[in-house]
Amino acid sequence: MDQQQTPFLDSLNKAKNAREYSFHMPGHKFIAGVNTPITDFMGEAAFEADLNEISPGVDYLHAPKGALVEAQRLAAEAVGADRSFFLINGSTVGNQASMLAAVRDGQTVIVPRSAHRSVYGGLILSGANPVYVPPVYHPQVEFPLAVPLGTVRELLVSHPNAAAVQITSPNYYGYLSDVRGLATLAHEHNIPLLVDEAHGAHLPFHPDLPASGVQVGADLVVQSSHKTVGALTQSALLHLSGTRIAAAQLEQILSLIQSSSPSALLMASLDAARQQMATHGRELLTRTIQRAAHAREAIRNISGLWCYGDELVGAYGIFAHDPTKLVIRVVDTGMNGHIFAEHLAHEHNVYGEFVDPKHIICSITIADDEQRVDYLLNALKSVAARGKYKIDSSTSAGLTPPNLPQMIINPRQANFAPSKSMPLAQAVGEICAEQIMPYPPGIPLLLPGERIDADMLDYLHYVKAQGVSIVGPEDTTLEYVRVIDKQT
């Protein structure tokens, strides 16, 4: 196929210039109905191009017949998938659709405990029973960076009826699991591997980057094209390979859970981003990788800072590192990640992608030229120079989290079960009805449907005493907890 083509974008251009007399949605009728504050803010062009399938020549995502068939074919060919689907609700909807396509109500699926909440959403929608891969905290980074192959192998032995394995790779930190090994393992058990590759839309386009799941045998791969390549926010791709997942069923699921009025702007941006990466990705990414390598080296030479890379590969399940992610250890400056990030923001207008107590993660993309990378380096140097080096940098002394709690009812059952609030101190033996997640590290201690036991209660008291923020529950002070109301 000719990857220079942008069939959907071209069709919009034609339709836009046709200037029909529209007596249909959108109500703004391509500009006349738009309020000026919004056009003052973003111009008129986006409204003029905000077409839908009623306009002549514009294809429809949920029943594509022309330009969108072509555009999605080009997207599949560009990464080597059998089929690719445009998503207009991010990787969030991709993860939900993957789960719905791979597992049915009551079936078992192997999922990392550190999965994105959209995966949990997929569990609620599908009614599947999750078996969680326990988080293995990396001793230096203090976050689970990968899904160890050996652990999944053991879980498949203890849960031979598992219907799918789902993983996230790469994660926010740019670390990848052994996706090829996991795909082989899943296929030995005749089940699909679903990969949340939200942070890896650029991976297929350069041989020096770790392989994308699409290239190493995963059945479904979800990529947020808005995160690491040049598409609009909310646009993403779902790639299908092989026959373990039925394409027709996947299409139906996507129609069910995505808007029936898909944004042409999002889809056109997917078309254009694919063209850019397929035709110029290699040269653009060569520069990106070089700039990130230069930045990594320079950061390592700034007093008090360190930048992780592939030296962590080979342990704790880590198979590869995406060099475009700068995992910057800042805590040895005497400032934790959040304080360091505040200085970066207020003094230099620099914002990273993710912050944890010890690190700031910066994503270098094809958009970052030398000047932007130098600006980042100068900002890092200037903030690091404020710190008092080598003060005590330990933040996690104390109890380790208890084993994963027992799941009594599955996420879907818990989502619909009646619940009540009660004092946490009296909640041993109760089934939790809400998510309780200390942040950091942002991995749930309890999920709806799981038993609160005495060890967990002790640990929750400990976390509370440490002043760690709690995300998820109604009462974030944890005086009270919402539990399943067994009376109703």
Q: How far is the CB of 18 from ligand PLP (least distance, A)?
A: 32
> Out of 16, 116, 206, 358, which residue is the one contacting ligand PLP (CB under 6 A)?
116
Rounded Cα distance between 194 and 158, Å, is 20
The per-type count for the chain, helices as H runs and strands as E runs, is 15, 17
The enclosing H or E element of 125 equals helix 117-126
Reading the block at residue 358, the tokens are 């010890």
72 binds ligand PLP (CB under 6 A): no
> Residue 383 in contact with residue 331, Cβ under 8 Å?
no
Sequence-ordered list of residues with C-beta below 8 angstroms from that of 464, at least 6 positions apart, any chain: 470, 477, 478
Q: How far is the CB of 115 from ligand PLP (least distance, A)?
A: 8
> Out of 224, 263, 288, 410, which residue is the one contacting ligand PLP (CB under 6 A)?
224
168 binds ligand PLP (CB under 6 A): yes
Q: Looking at 87-95, 104-112, 178-186, 434-442, which segment touches ligand PLP (CB under 6 A)? A: 87-95
* Cβ proximity to ligand PLP, 192 vs 334, nearer residue: 192
Burial (CB count <10 Å: 0-12, 13-18, 19+), residue 6: buried
The site for ligand PLP, by CB under 6 A, has a size of 12
450 binds ligand PLP (CB under 6 A): no
356 binds ligand PLP (CB under 6 A): no
Rounded Cα distance between 379 and 291, Å, is 16
Q: Looking at 69-77, 89-97, 358-366, 371-379, which segment touches ligand PLP (CB under 6 A)? A: 89-97
Q: How far is the CB of 88 from ligand PLP (least distance, A)?
A: 10
Give, as ranges, the residues between 187 and 206 that touch ligand PLP (CB under 6 A).
196, 198
> Out of 7, 64, 90, 127, which residue is the one contacting ligand PLP (CB under 6 A)?
90
> Out of 236, 265, 433, 452, which residue is the one contacting ligand PLP (CB under 6 A)?
236
CA 142 to chain centre: 19
Rounded Cα distance between 143 and 162, Å, is 26
**How long is the chain?**
488
231 binds ligand PLP (CB under 6 A): no
91 binds ligand PLP (CB under 6 A): yes
Q: Looking at 85-93, 183-191, 334-342, 378-386, which segment touches ligand PLP (CB under 6 A)? A: 85-93
Q: What is the DSSP letter of 160?
A: T
Q: How far is the CB of 352 from ligand PLP (least distance, A)?
A: 14
92 binds ligand PLP (CB under 6 A): yes
* Cβ proximity to ligand PLP, 8 vs 120, nearer residue: 120
If we measure between CA atoms, which residue out of 411, 476, 400 comes closest to residue 448? 411
**Start-to-end C-alpha separation, the chain:** 60
Dihedral sign, Cα of residue 361, residue 112, residue 139, residue 149: negative
Beta partners for residue 131, in sequence order = 110
Rounded Cα distance between 375 and 371, Å, is 6
51 binds ligand PLP (CB under 6 A): no
98 binds ligand PLP (CB under 6 A): no
1: three-class secondary structure by DSSP: coil
Rounded Cα distance between 142 and 162, Å, is 29
> Residue 89 in contact with residue 224, Cβ under 8 Å?
no
Q: How far is the CB of 121 from ligand PLP (least distance, A)?
A: 10
Q: How far is the CB of 463 from ligand PLP (least distance, A)?
A: 23
* Cβ proximity to ligand PLP, 196 vs 219, nearer residue: 196
Residue with tokens 């790639």: 239
* Cβ proximity to ligand PLP, 72 vs 89, nearer residue: 89
112 binds ligand PLP (CB under 6 A): no
* Cβ proximity to ligand PLP, 221 vs 302, nearer residue: 221
Residue with tokens 């990273």: 352
- Tell me which residue has its CB nearest to ligand PLP: 90
Rounded Cα distance between 169 and 198, Å, is 8
| Residues 126-165 as x/- pattern, contact with ligand PLP by CB under 6 A | ----------------------------------------
If we measure between CA atoms, which residue out of 283, 306, 282, 292 comes closest to residue 368? 292
Using CB under 6 A as the criterion, which residues of the chain lie in contact with ligand PLP when the complex forms? Answer: 90-92, 95, 116, 118, 168, 172, 196, 198, 224, 236
